[in-house]
Amino acid sequence: MSIYFESSPYDQRFKDEYMLESHSFFSKMVDELIEFSEYDPELADGIRWLDDQAQKKGITFYDMVFEVLYKHDVNCKAKEWLNTRN
């Protein structure tokens, strides 16, 4: 007895389209935070600090925001994992 699995060939365009949508969503979210910072001095200070850090690292502001959010997410998940182990 033989079993055959049929699958359609992977289409890179779907991945590219999804990544483009994700990037667009992220960029728009960051742009809205920047706009909102006009009304929130503490947020404006944080954005200026992030911009300074990005310039020191030689990366874009958007990359810096992503890095900070990614590290925060990893740290939260690590803490959750540790709490479930104890």
53: nearest Cα among 65, 39, 43, 71:
65
Note whether residue 8 is domain-resident: no
Give the range of the structural domain holding residue 19, as residue numbers without chain letter: 15-85
Confidence band for 23, pLDDT divided at 50, 70 and 90? confident
- Rounded Cα–Cα distance for residues 43 and 39 (Å): 9
Note whether residue 4 is domain-resident: no
Buried b (16+ CB within 10 A) or exposed e, 11-46: eeeeeeeeeeeeeeeeeeebeeeeeebeeeeeeeee
The whole-number pLDDT of residue 5 equals 43
Note whether residue 6 is domain-resident: no
Q: pTM above the 0.75 mark? A: no
Average pLDDT of the segment spanning 25-45: 94
| Residue that wins the pLDDT comparison between 7 and 32 | 32
Average pLDDT of the segment spanning 41-55: 96
The whole-number pLDDT of residue 15 equals 62
Note whether residue 1 is domain-resident: no
Tally of domains in the chain:
1
Note whether residue 66 is domain-resident: yes
